[in-house]
Amino acid sequence: MLTKNHFKCDGACADSTEFSFVMAFQPVVDIPLRRVYAYEALVRGAEGQSAASVLAQVTEENRYAFDQACRVKAIETAARLGLDRRLNINFMPNAVYHPEACLRLTLKAAQEHEFPLDLITFEFTEDEQIMDRAHLTGIVQTYKAHGFQTALDDFGAGYAGLSLLSDFQPDTIKIDRCLVANVDTEKPRQAIIEGLLRTAEILGISVVAEGVERQKELKTLLGMGIQRFQGFLFAKPAIERLIPDSEINWDVI
């Protein structure tokens, strides 16, 4: 049974009253260990609609409240499902006005549901144009001070790229599908990823390749030294369910 989160929008949503959403979880797998390393919480409509259909209802007026509701919902659902691995939660940097204040509900939810703070990674995407780099650096530093890890999602697909990475260093970067696609046959993609891996190693940043859909892409990336992956090749997101190690498609390795 799906547990829906009813998000009040004060007239800002498409239906002018409210919209509901649930959480799906997609595994991030660790190939050498052959186990799920983390689960990324992904928003879905109450009836299983796409994330895009939910995000289309987010406006400047309700962005902060929606961001807060997603964090709480991800923690509540993960705890209810008995998650004992890392939980990756997406957040919107431009929705965070004051880092400490914005964390109050997150900390409260983790305490209420007895979910360990050191198992939470906050992912932010360079797809969202960051207006204030200093503000984002402050957010990352505040989150780390509370024991959270941070990840730069969709790396290579957005506004900032290496310049954003030079301002601060997250714990993890997730290489976007736009670089992963056809990496087995395209030398420029291979060169870019190899350079990124060298940079990450120097900075002490872990790397995840996301959007992996083809076995040949996987084998090429493994040959480059990447060990953690996320993508349909292993498992699709499951609504309110944690796909166990035993159901991961390990046969593609």
Q: Where are the domains of the chain?
A: 5-248
Q: 40: pLDDT confidence band, cut at 50, 70 and 90?
A: very high
Q: Side chain identity at 147, as an amino acid letter? A: G
Q: Please state whether beta strands 120-125 and 238-239 pair in parallel, antiparallel, or not at all (unpaired).
A: unpaired
Tens of pLDDT, residue by residue over 87-119, are 999 987 766 767 787 899 999 999 999 999 999
Which of 219, 253, 203, 238 is closest to 35 using CA atoms? 253
pLDDT computed for residue 15 by the predictor: 36
Q: How far apart are CA 230 and CA 243, in angstroms?
A: 13
* Cα dihedral: 63, 65, 67, 73 (round 10): -150
Q: Which of the four pLDDT bands, split at 50, 70 and 90, describes residue 3?
A: low
Average confidence (pLDDT) over 4-12: 48
Position 200 pLDDT exceeds 50: yes
CATH code for the domain defined by 5-248: 3.20.20.450
Please tell me which residue, 34 or 135, carries the higher pLDDT value. Answer: 34
Q: What is the pLDDT of residues 223-239, one digit of tens each?
A: 999 999 999 999 999 99
Q: Is 90 helix (H, G, I), strand (E, B) or coil?
A: strand
β-pairing, 228-230 with 172-175?
A: unpaired
11 has pLDDT over 50: no
